[in-house]
Amino acid sequence: MLDFDVKFLKGVGPNRALKLNRLGVYTVEDLLNYFPVKYEDRRVVKKINELKDEKKVLLKIKICDYPKKARIKKNMTIIKALATDGTGFIHLTFFNQDHLINNLSLSEFYYIFGVVKSNYGKFEMINPEIELVANATKAGRIMPIYSLTYNLTNNEITKIVKVALEYYFEKIDSIIPEYIRKDYNLILRKDAIRYLHFPTNGKKYTIAKKTIAFEKLLIMQIGLLSIKSKLVASLDGIQIKNAKLADMLLNSLPFKLTDAQYRVINEIKCDMAKSKPMNRLVQGDVGSGKTIIAIYAMLIAVKSGFQSSMMAPTEILAMQHYDTIKEYVKLSNIEINIEFLSGSTKTKQKNDILNKLRNGEIDILIGTHALIEDNVEFNNIGLVVTDEQHRFGVRQRALLSNKGMNPDILVMTATPIPRTLALMLYGDLDISIIDELPPGRQKIKTYVVKENQKIEMYNFIDEKVREGNQAYIVAPLVDESDNLELDSAREIYEELATTYFSKYKLGILYGSMKNSEKERVINDFYKGEINILVSTTVIEVGVNVPNAVIMMILNAERFGLAQLHQLRGRVGRGKTQSYCILVNESKSKKSKDRMNILVKTNDGFLVSEEDLKIRGPGDFFGTAQHGLSKYDVQNIINDIDVVQDVSILSKKILSENPNLDGAEYINLKKHIINLFKDENIIFN
């Protein structure tokens, strides 16, 4: 690997290196993997007489007259020149580029690249890029556009990448074994990297992208699958099969399980009864009744003499599970010990819980990430449940299961993922699907509205709230940074609280709030003391307030469909007709079509299949999941065929050669180990 410091690369040095570091580029390898976000096609030379307004174009011109220089402000000069390509004239203006006055020659041909403006029939270009035809490096090519920050210009990055490729091209080793590369018509890694930065044509770009996607997916998929096979191969799992308590629970439920729930429960029962550890993912749409399944499994463990635990991604959700489970258990007259642990549990209480946990006095422990801390030791944990799996990475799951001797693992997610992708993303798990909702659920009426209909919608909310209902208003999705998230929600909160909804009690909820604060707000909302809750996506999972009947999502175009579907799932939980209002501020047809899918169906699996068709698989790869960057998933891995090919191939490779022995796999293996370095169960 080219894993030495980028600062030693020619033309970089300590200052630029620092700027590159801020882009996440530390080594030459990182730099080579810092792919452009888009490209500028400068292959075609346009003629002036065929120009239209406002487009970036490449022209090949001669300067017609000596350029003129003027000082327009104390520190601003302009140079004006008239140019022609023989079919027409174009006026060029350069700001603060004094050197041009002596360098522009009347006898040379130049390429200029920039935005054309037409001013009463006169064409002009301001600050075009200009280069001599004789030694042009950009004209005639497809140029990369990188994502920029911190005073690094696109030109700088382009140059640095070029240098890196010049010096180290031959040192870029392939990761994909030669025979696979040939089978799938891929290209060498060094060529793929070069063409992703500097594609010479569309075909080269496509194959380069496919090669890199293939490579990244192969690393991830083989890693996940081999974790799975290692888990399955370990024989010292535990057998858990006493379902007596669990069946008591079912008998006392006020409702009958759906067929899908029964099927999944049986799959789980079978897994648990085996001596090999269970590794099962339960996928079920919002409201399909996953909680009861988790409780069922935990009760089997308890009755068989083991402890079990359930981890949820937010304190709110964990607390809700804790309450639900206590309620169910009470209902069935089952006497067991259930405790709750989170980051905000007081020290004294926490120590008490930890002690009891070690002694085996606690049967079921519900909580947040706090459950994976080092000091949490179980007496004999037999089952680990994680809810809303998409919020946790493989690593966190492994940490929790490492607390016992290969306990059974059950993970649950409400993010419906098309089957083809699920195999890929959860390659280390068996999958159960609850594809049926309990009977009698009402369809949530979904509307897509434009920005200028917002007020109308506020009136609608007003009407509903006056009747005693509650509503959510979700603030636009902003950057992941907490501050921005807060600003966005707060701005809307303040605007609404002082205008349209001044007569109601409004609440605000966002991620960086203290846990106790969050809980208080949710509780107030639950009790009806808050009428309208302005929130960020923190309410996406789990929150259950049946009296809330309206979900309004601002700037809905910024969200993925799956996420919108999750948010919508916060309403429609009671008996009253519920509504979801998507405010679409984008004018594109694509965006409208996308949202109309939500209007048409309430079925999460259909939604995700459609999302897959429209947006490609990128969105389904949670960034926290598998060491793929947001960029990777959005720009590189967007071909479902590649995902499927890799999925099938990975299984085949591992079944024939579980340890990836042999020289051809050395590099691949190195990268897999590096990606999953936190797992101790990978390879021998």
Footprint on this chain of Mg ion (rule: CB under 5 A): 290
Beta bridge mates, 446: 580
Shortest distance, position 527 Cβ to Mg ion, whole Å: 21
CB 528, CB 547: distance < 8 Å: yes
Q: Work out what residue 292 binds among ligand ADP, Mg ion, none; the CB cut-off runs from 5 to 8 Å by kind.
A: ligand ADP
Residue 603: CB minimum distance to Mg ion, A? 17
For 66-100, give the secondary structure using H, E and C.
Answer: CCEEEEEECCEEEEEEEEECCCCEEEEEEECCCHH
- Contact partner, 210, from ligand ADP, Mg ion, none, Cβ < 5-8 Å per class: none
Q: Is there binding between residue 268 and ligand ADP (CB under 6 A)? A: no
Look at residue 288 and give the partner it binds from Mg ion, ligand ADP, none, a contact being a CB closer than 5 to 8 Å depending on partner kind.
Answer: ligand ADP
133 phi, psi to nearest 5 deg:
-60, -40
List CB contacts of 262: < 8 A, sequence separation 6 or more: none
Closer CB to Mg ion, 293 or 508, in the complex: 293
Concatenating the DSSP letter of every residue in 612-641 gives: HHHH-GGGGS-TTTSS--HHIIIII---HH
Is residue 258 near ligand ADP by the rule CB under 6 A? yes
Q: Do residues 60 and 133 lie in contact, with contact meaning Cβ atoms separated by under 8 Å?
A: yes
- Which structure tokens are listed for 306? 């083991």
Alpha-carbon distance of 353 to 365, in angstroms, equals 9
Query: Residue 617 and residue 107: Cα distance in Å, rounded?
Result: 53
Contact between 284 and ligand ADP by CB under 6 A: the answer reads yes
Stretch that binds ligand ADP, among 224-232, 283-291, 296-304, 587-595 (CB under 6 A): 283-291
Partner in contact with 284, chosen from Mg ion, ligand ADP, none, beta carbon below 5 to 8 Å by kind: ligand ADP
By beta-carbon proximity to Mg ion, the closer residue of 33 and 342 is: 342
Residues 472, 460: Cα–Cα separation, whole Å: 13
312 versus 496: smaller Cβ distance to ligand ADP: 312
The count of chain residues that interact with ligand ADP, using the rule CB under 6 A, is 14
Q: Which of 33, 242, 279, 291 binds ligand ADP (CB under 6 A)?
A: 291
Least distance to ligand ADP from the beta carbon of 216, Å?
Answer: 32
At residue 316's C-alpha, the angle toward residues 312 and 320, to 5°, is: 80
Interface with ligand ADP, residue 574, by CB under 6 A: no
Please state, in angstroms and rounded to a whole number, the distance separating the CA atoms of residues 6 and 625: 27
Looking at the Cβ atoms of 282 and 595, the one nearer to Mg ion is: 282
Selected from 218, 249, 292, 400, the binder of ligand ADP by CB under 6 A is 292
Strand-pair category, 122-126 with 110-119: antiparallel
Q: Smaller CB distance to ligand ADP: residue 261 or 563?
A: 261
* Residues 525-544 contacting ligand ADP, CB under 6 A: none
Stretch that binds ligand ADP, among 88-96, 272-280, 286-294, 486-494 (CB under 6 A): 286-294
Provide the minimum distance between the beta carbon of 619 and ligand ADP in the complex, in angstroms, as a whole number.
21
Minimum CB separation from ligand ADP for residue 287, in Å? Answer: 5
Q: Which is nearer to ligand ADP, 174 or 415 (CB)?
A: 415
Q: Considering only residues 460-489, where is the footprint of ligand ADP by CB under 6 A?
A: none
- Which CB, 290 or 518, lies closer to Mg ion? 290
403 binds, among Mg ion, ligand ADP, none (CB under 5 to 8 A by kind): none
Write out the two tokens for 204.
Answer: 């080269």
The option from ligand ADP, Mg ion, none interacting with 261 (CB < 5 to 8 A, set by class) reads ligand ADP
Question: Which of 287, 574, 622, 658 is the binder for ligand ADP (CB under 6 A)?
Answer: 287
Q: In this complex, which beta carbon is closest to Mg ion, that of residue 310 or of residue 508?
A: 310
> Residues 430-449 vs ligand ADP: string with x where CB under 6 A?
--------x-----------
CA–CA separation, 31 and 673 (whole Å): 21
Residue 286 near which of Mg ion, ligand ADP, none (CB within 5-8 Å, type-dependent): ligand ADP
Ramachandran bin of 549, using left for φ above 0, alpha for ψ from -120 to 50, beta for the remaining angles: alpha
Could you say which of 24, 255, 259, 657 contacts ligand ADP (CB under 6 A)? 255
Q: Which of 39, 37, 145, 192 shows the shortest CA–CA distance to 631?
A: 37
Between the CA of residue 593 and those of 116, 588, 598, 666, what are the distances in Å? Answer: 33, 9, 9, 46
User: By C-beta, is 197 or 290 nearer to Mg ion?
Assistant: 290
| Closer residue to ligand ADP, CB minimum distance, 320 or 536 | 320
Q: Angle 202-233/666-675 helices, nearest 10 degrees?
A: 70
Beta partners for residue 553, in sequence order: 474, 582
Closest to ligand ADP by CB, 14 vs 439, is 439
CB of 541 to ligand ADP, least distance (A): 9
Please state the closest distance from residue 430 (CB atom) to ligand ADP, in A. Answer: 19
Of the candidate spans 7-15, 254-262, 446-454, 646-654, the one that interacts with ligand ADP by CB under 6 A turns out to be: 254-262
Looking at residue 467, its amino acid is: E
Name the minimum Å distance from CB 503 to Mg ion.
Answer: 34
Q: Measured from the CB atom, is 258 or 279 closer to ligand ADP?
A: 258
Min. distance of Cβ 362 from ligand ADP in angstroms? 23
Query: Which residues lie across from 145 on neighbouring strands?
Result: 38
DSSP state string for 122-147: EEEEES-EEEESTT-SSTTSEEEE--
Candidate residues 115, 257, 338, 405; the one interacting with ligand ADP per rule CB under 6 A: 257
Q: Rounded to the nearest whole angstrom, what is the least distance from the CB of residue 255 to ligand ADP in the complex? A: 4
Cβ distance to ligand ADP smaller for residue 393 or 546: 546
Decide if residue 261 touches ligand ADP (CB under 6 A): yes
Interior/surface letters 368-385, b for 16+ CB within 10 angstroms, e for the rest: bbbbbeeebebeebbbbb
Which residue has the closest beta carbon to ligand ADP? 289
Distance CA 152, CA 129 (A): 17
Rounded to whole angstroms, the Cα distance separating 377 from 32 reads 44
Nearer to ligand ADP, 56 or 441 (CB): 441
> Which residues between 397 and 436 bind ligand ADP (CB under 6 A)?
414
292 vs 595, beta carbon nearer ligand ADP: 292
Residue 602 found at the interface with ligand ADP (CB under 6 A): no
Which residue type occupies 48?
Answer: I
The item of Mg ion, ligand ADP, none sharing an interface with residue 289, based on CB under 5 to 8 Å by kind, is ligand ADP
Q: Is 310 helix (H, G, I), strand (E, B) or coil?
A: strand
Cα 532 to Cα 186, 416, 463, 515, 562: the distances in Å are: 54, 28, 12, 20, 24
Please report the beta strands in 429-578, taking only residues with DSSP state E, as ranges in sequence order.
430-434, 445-450, 470-474, 506-509, 532-535, 548-553
Q: In the bound complex, what is the minimum distance in angstroms from residue 543's beta carbon to Mg ion?
A: 10
The owner of tokens 């002690």 is 355
Question: Looking at beta carbons only, is 504 or 526 nearer to ligand ADP?
Answer: 526
Q: Are strands 408-413 and 338-341 parallel, antiparallel or unpaired?
A: unpaired
Start-to-end CA distance of the chain, whole Å, equals: 22
Sheet with strand 579-584: strands edge to edge: 445-450, 579-584, 548-553, 470-474, 532-535, 506-509
Task: Tokens for 351, please give them.
Answer: 């120590």
Residue 109, classified by CB atoms within 10 Å of its CB into exposed (0-12), middle (13-18) or buried (19+), is middle
Question: What residues line the site for ligand ADP (CB under 6 A)?
Answer: 255, 257-258, 261, 284, 286-292, 414, 438
